[in-house]
Each structure stands twice: as C-alpha cells, then as structure tokens.
C-alpha cells in the first residue's frame, strides 16, 4: 500500500533550465556588483562583463516560466489578484515571493546594463544619465545583488518546501546548494566570456577563477551534506539516468574536473586561457545538470 | 462553523456509490475500459484494469475526487482474511499545504472551512501539487488548471450535504459540523474499542492542523495509504529560509575575501 505525494510534472527544459539560467544571471550580477562596490579600477573589466551577461540571460527566464504554465495567458495573476483587483503576494509561497524578486532583479539588471552602455559610450541618454547622477548606480547594484541572491536561492527553497520525499528530505540545503552553484556558474560564465574576448588581462580572468574554485569547494561540501541529510531518500539521485546526470554530470564533469583543470592551469607555461575556457564550459554544464538532476529526480514516482 | 465529513471505514462496504455520486454531481468524466487484442486470445482484453482488488482508479486525480481503497489482509497460511475499505478524498486540512503554496490566491478557504480552487484564477503553475502531503490535488491537461474535491462547495452553500455523503448507503460517510462529527466519532471509537477492536483509531484530529474530513480506521493509517505523521511543508519555511540566507552571506564573504586578498597581494608585489 502506497501513500504517495504527486509530482508536479514540471518539464526539465523549462523549469530546471530556468533554475540554471536564473542562477548564472544572478551569480554573474552579484560578482559584478560586488566588484563595483569594492571600487577598484582593475576589476572594471570583470563587472562590465558581468552586467552585460546578467540582463540578457534574465530576459530569457520569464519565457521559460510562462511556457510551463497550464494557462500561460494568465501569468499576470502572479502579480495581481483579479477578484479584488489588487497586487498580490503570498508570503508562505516561495514561488510567489520569488516571482516578485525576479521582477525586481530584472529591473535592476536592466539599469546596470544601460549604465554600462552609457559608460562604454554605446548609448546616449540624458534622462538615464540624469537618473544615475541623482541616484548613483551603486544603489541599484546593492538592491540588485540582494534580489539576485534571492533569485538564485529561492528556487531551492521552493523545492524544499514541498512534500516530495527527495525535496523534503534534503531540507534545508537545496537553497544553499543552488546559491553556491549560481556563484560558481556565474563566475564561470564571466571567465568564459572574458577568455573569448581575448582583450581581458589574464590576471582578471585568474581572479574570477579563484573565486569560482572557492564556490565549487563550498558546493561540493553542500552536496555531501545533502546526501547525508537525505539518507535513504537520496536514492533517486544515486541510480538510473538521474544518478548518472548527478554524479557523472555534476560532481565529476561539472566540479571535480574543472577544479583539476583550474589547478593545472595555475602552473606557469600551461595553456592558461584556453584551459580556463574549457573548465568554465564544464562548470556551466555541471550547473545545468545539477538543476536537471534535482528537479527531475524529485519527480520520479 | 467549519463543515466537514466523518468517514467511518468500519461500516464501509466498498460499494463505490460515493465515487459515482461525486462524478455525477461534479460532471467528472470517467476513464473507460480500454480493450486490445493480445496474441492467442480470440477476444479483446482490457489493459487498464488495475488488478488490485476492486480498485478501479488507483489514486485521486483531477477527475477522480473520491477513491475507494480496497485492502486485502491475509494471515500467512491464508486461512484467515480481512477486507478493509476506505473512501478517500481531499481532507480540507486546517493548515492546507496547497493553499499555503498557491502564488495567485486561486486556492481559498470559504466561510464553511472547505478548501476551494477558483478555476478562473488558477494559472496552472502546479506548485500546489507537490505541496499536498496527501497527494490529492491534481493537474488537468484539458483545463490547464488544478482540480480536487470542493466539499461540494455549491451544494453546501445551498443547504445540502455533500453528494458522496448523500449517496452513502451505510452512513459510513457523514456530513455536518466538524464539532458534531467529532462527538459522533469519539462515541463510535469507544464502542469499537469496547467490542475488542484494539487497533481502531481516529485519523485527522491533529494532522495538518486538524482535518475537516477525518477518518475512523480499523488498522494503522499507513495500512489505508495515509501518512502516519504528515508534515505541512510550509512549517519548514522559516528554517529553510534562514539556512539559505546564511549560505548567501557565506558566499558573499568568500567573494569579498577572495577578490580583496588578491588585490592586496598585487599591491605588495608592486611595492617590492
């Protein structure tokens, strides 16, 4: 006799990929804004790359989210309770609070994107320049970082606050894991773009890589803790397709291998930049596999 | 005051009149038997029968708001047997996981205490589905929204009881004020205990903040497919949020240290 909770049947190519892209955008934005706040000129290249990444990426996510709805044309009900005609947020629902956070983060990343265009001389807008003169961009960066963390982490809390065995038993660690992964994949995305452009200094890329290593070690520790906390309920993550995706795709290819490559790339004479780029691609792959494994394994009957 | 149902499984006969009445009143389609040819048989064979006792729907779904479970218990030599029945539905929890999870206020509690899905508000995000500790609420591809038992919202707001309770021929399902039903349940439990049914128990006084639809079981709740200690997921919201915020702080601090340290090292090198 079974007493089963039901799976929501979220599609991996919508929800899990949203979790991943939202994480990359939020992670990149956080790194960019932190470096802007620390205020050193030599980090300018990094935060510039981060802001150019964050906004286009976050623009993709509402499309994915709305596509997975049963009634996509009603997506605006998330912001507005139609029966009373008032704005609505449900504080006990991570999905509701997270949607508002995504909106704020989207707005802040747009401002940062525009600010960058102005600084780079690609956009002339007296109105925006006036706005940034009255309220400095650093203010938006702080607000955006806060909501960026929210966007990166709420997706994990959202999974933890369910009755599905895998998601409930890993409580309260998925939020932390997704934040660590967002930081790591965000850093990897920045490093990849900087390596691609070839104009960036190797030192700047190295700094991003150093932080990426720290984030990945934290992520590994959280994965270990999660498996221990979940005990026998972690079984869906250890067998079958999702076992392969999780242990092979995320842990080996997405974390251990790039950690090794970063380590190897530190040595003088090693093929630094291309090696770093390869490692960054693997980190991004691992981040996507992490979301797919956890979101889909939790839905297995 | 809150209305609800008391399901006394000790006098259920498994007739499924409640399942039928529910489908009739709520205009829910049934899943027809599907037949197909198999080798070596001259006739078509049904392939979507469950083969699990007299169970025909297996679980609750968007179109099956009531489900009668059939539990066959045998001793080892199969010389003795007991056949248990229990009619299951949404329990209209006082602390409802689905209602807590709904981001658009599609799921509401009415003045009669029942948990109701407003079909014209639901966006089909499906987050309520894993939030229900009983696996009740379900998604319909046809409407793009979620559905579950409404406690016959239209009937009870017009002075009628629920359709299933009305149809029940043995009085196993009774509809009424939760307080009255609890008195009835306590009396029935005392009587069964007096008759020697030691394992008889009432399920739903404390689970999920109290269930407005509660049960008298003749065996452990898990035998009837109900979780022994259901947890309303949102009870963990604060701790889960706190740990996630702490991790965010750790990551932010790690970033600050890792970027700043290198900056300072560089300066030292320049000085040298």
Average pLDDT over residues A269-292: 87
The span from the CA of B113 to the CA of A224, in Å, is: 43
- In which residue are the tokens 């006084």 written? B205
Q: Point out the residue among A31, A78, A218 whose CB comes nearest to the CB of B103.
A: A78
Distances (CA, A) of B65 to B18, B25, B68, B109, B167: 10, 11, 10, 18, 15
Contact B254 A214 (CB under 8 A): yes
Contact A175 B133 (CB under 8 A): no
Q: Which two tokens stand for residue B226?
A: 């109900």
B6 bridge partner residues:
B174, B214
SS3 assignment, position B210: coil
pLDDT for residue B109 is more than 60? yes
Summarize pLDDT for B246-261 with one digit per residue, the tens. 999 999 999 988 887 6
Q: Please give the span between the terminal C-alpha atoms of chain A, in angstroms, as a whole number.
A: 14
ipTM above 0.90, yes or no: yes
pLDDT for residue A294 is more than 50? yes
Contact B105 A81 (CB under 8 A): yes
Closest Cα in chain A, distance from residue B136 (Å) = 8
Spatial neighbors of A18 by CB under 8 A, at least 6 apart, are: A61, A64, A65, A155
B7 bridge partner residues:
B173, B215
Report whether A108 contacts A144 (CB < 8 A).
yes
Residues B183-215: b if buried by 16+ CB within 10 A, e if exposed: eebeebbeebeeeeeeebbbbbeebbebbbbbb
CATH number of this structure's domain A12-297: 1.20.1630.10
Angle at CA A299, nearest 5°, toward A161 and A154?
A: 35
Closest CA to B219 of B71, B43, B56: B71
Closest Cα in chain A, distance from residue B43 (Å) = 32
Q: Which two tokens stand for residue B263?
A: 């900056």
Average pLDDT over residues A72-89: 94
Q: Which two tokens stand for residue A82?
A: 């139609």
Q: Point out the residue among B104, B245, B256 whose CB comes nearest to the CB of A34.
A: B256
Spatial neighbors of A285 by CB under 8 A, at least 6 apart, are: A249, A253, A254
Beta strands in A133-251 (DSSP E): none
SS3 assignment, position B140: strand
Contact B125 A179 (CB under 8 A): no
Distances (CA, A) of B212 to B3, B92, B138, B204: 7, 5, 20, 8
Q: Where are the domains of chain B?
A: 3-31+49-231, 235-271
Q: How many CB pairs under 8 A join A and B?
A: 217
Please give the full DSSP string across B4-32, using - where no structure is assigned.
Answer: EEEEEGGG-----HHHHHHHHHHTPPP--
What distance lies between CA A192 and its chain's CA centroid? 15
Report whether B106 contacts B121 (CB < 8 A).
yes
pLDDT for residue A104 is more than 60? yes
Query: Residue B10: pLDDT band by 50, 70, 90 thresholds?
Result: very high
Contact A6 B263 (CB under 8 A): no
The span from the CA of A122 to the CA of A68, in Å, is: 36
Q: Which two tokens stand for residue B212?
A: 């407005």
Report whether A293 contacts A178 (CB < 8 A).
no
- pLDDT > 70: what percent of chain A? 96
| Residue to substitute from A23, A92, A225, interface B, most B β-carbons within 10 A | A92
The span from the CA of A78 to the CA of B54, in Å, is: 42
What pLDDT was estimated at residue A1? Answer: 35
Q: Alpha-carbon torsion B239, B242, B248, B250, what sign?
A: negative
Residues A276-289: b if buried by 16+ CB within 10 A, e if exposed: bbbbbbbbbbbbbb
Summarize pLDDT for A123-181 with one digit per residue, the tens. 888 888 888 888 888 899 999 999 999 999 999 999 999 999 999 999 999 999 999 99
Average pLDDT over residues A180-185: 97
Mean pLDDT of chain A: 92
Report whether A290 contacts A181 (CB < 8 A).
yes
Q: Which residues of A touch B124 (CB under 8 A)?
A: 69-71, 74
pLDDT for residue B23 is more than 90? yes
Contact B251 A75 (CB under 8 A): no
Q: Is B154 exposed, middle or buried (0-12, 13-18, 19+ CB in 10 A)?
A: exposed
Average pLDDT over residues A88-108: 96
Number of neighbours of residue A236 by Cβ within 10 angstroms = 22
Q: Which two tokens stand for residue A289?
A: 């596999």
Spatial neighbors of A58 by CB under 8 A, at least 6 apart, are: A21, A22, A25, A26, A102, A105, A106, A109, A151
The span from the CA of B70 to the CA of B68, in Å, is: 7
Q: Which residues of A touch B139 (CB under 8 A)?
A: 8-9, 70
SS3 assignment, position A265: helix
Q: Point out the residue among A74, A154, A179 whose CB comes nearest to the CB of B123.
A: A74
SS3 assignment, position B143: coil
Range from A33-47, A48-62, A158-172, B124-138 carrying the lowest mean pLDDT: A33-47
Contact B255 A30 (CB under 8 A): yes
Q: Which residues of A touch B127 (CB under 8 A)?
A: 8, 93, 95, 158, 162
Contact A8 B255 (CB under 8 A): no
What pLDDT was estimated at residue B269? Answer: 53
- In which residue are the tokens 């026998």 written? A232
Please give the full DSSP string across A19-74, using - where no structure is assigned.
Answer: HHHHHHHHHHHHHHHHHHHHT-GGGHHHHHHHHHHHHHHHHHHHHHHHHTSSSGGG
Q: Which two tokens stand for residue B154?
A: 């239209």
The CATH T-level fold of domain B3-31+49-231 is Alpha-Beta Plaits (3.30.70)
Strand B213-217 and strand B3-8: the pairing is parallel
């Amino acid at each position: 006799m079974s007493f089963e909770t039901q799976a929501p049947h979220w599609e991996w190519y919508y929800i899990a990929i949203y979790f991943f892209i939202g994480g990359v955008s939020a992670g990149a934005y956080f790194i960019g804004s932190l470096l802007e706040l620390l205020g050193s000129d030599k980090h300018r290249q990094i935060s510039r790359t981060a802001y150019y990444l964050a906004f286009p990426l976050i623009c993709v996510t509402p499309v994915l989210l709305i596509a997975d709805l049963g009634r996509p044309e009603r997506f605006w009900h998330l912001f507005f309770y139609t029966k009373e005609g008032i704005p609505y947020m449900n504080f006990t629902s991570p999905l509701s609070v997270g949607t508002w956070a995504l909106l704020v983060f989207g707005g802040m990343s747009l401002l940062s994107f525009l600010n960058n265009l102005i600084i780079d001389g690609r956009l002339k807008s007296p109105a925006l320049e006036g706005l940034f003169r009255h309220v400095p961009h650093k203010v938006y960066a702080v607000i955006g970082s806060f909501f960026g963390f929210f966007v990166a982490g709420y997706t994990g809390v959202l999974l933890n606050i369910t009755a599905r065995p895998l998601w409930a038993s890993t409580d309260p660690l998925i939020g932390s894991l997704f934040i660590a992964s967002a930081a790591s994949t965000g850093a990897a995305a920045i490093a990849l773009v900087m390596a691609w452009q070839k104009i960036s200094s190797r030192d700047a890329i190295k700094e991003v890589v150093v932080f990426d290593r720290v984030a990945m070690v934290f992520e590994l520790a959280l994965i270990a803790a999660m498996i221990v906390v979940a005990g026998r309920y972690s079984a869906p993550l250890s067998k079958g397709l999702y076992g392969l995706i999780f242990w092979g795709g995320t842990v080996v290819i997405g974390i251990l291998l790039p950690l090794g490559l970063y380590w190897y790339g530190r040595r003088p004479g090693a093929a630094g930049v291309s090696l770093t780029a390869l490692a960054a691609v693997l980190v991004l792959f691992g981040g996507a596999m992490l979301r797919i494994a956890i979101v889909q394994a939790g839905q297995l009957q | 005051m809150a209305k609800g149902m008391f399901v006394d499984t000790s006098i259920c006969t498994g007739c499924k009149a409640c399942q039928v009445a529910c489908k009739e009143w709520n205009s829910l389609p049934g899943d027809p038997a599907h037949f197909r040819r198999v080798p070596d048989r001259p006739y078509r064979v049904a392939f979507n029968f469950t083969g699990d006792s007299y169970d025909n729907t297996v679980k609750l779904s968007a179109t099956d708001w009531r489900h009668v479970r059939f539990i066959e218990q045998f001793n080892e030599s199969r010389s003795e047997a007991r056949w248990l029945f229990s009619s299951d539905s949404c329990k209209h929890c006082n602390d409802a996981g689905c209602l807590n999870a709904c981001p658009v206020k599609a799921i509401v509690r009415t003045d009669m205490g029942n948990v109701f899905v407003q079909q014209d508000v639901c966006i089909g995000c499906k987050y309520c589905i894993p939030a229900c500790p009983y696996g009740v609420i379900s998604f319909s591809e046809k409407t793009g929204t979620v559905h579950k038992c409404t406690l016959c919202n239209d009937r009870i707001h017009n002075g009628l009881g629920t359709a299933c309770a009305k149809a029940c021929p043995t009085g196993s399902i009774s509809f009424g004020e939760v307080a009255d039903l609890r008195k009835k349940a306590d009396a029935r439990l005392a009587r069964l205990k007096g008759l020697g049914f030691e394992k008889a128990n009432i399920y739903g006084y404390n689970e999920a903040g109290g269930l407005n639809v509660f049960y008298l079981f003749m065996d452990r709740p898990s035998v009837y497919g109900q979780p022994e200690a259901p947890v309303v997921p949102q009870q963990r919201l604060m701790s889960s949020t706190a740990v996630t915020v702490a991790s965010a702080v750790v990551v932010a601090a790690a970033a600050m240290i890792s970027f700043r340290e290198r900056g300072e090292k560089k300066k030292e090198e320049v000085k040298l």
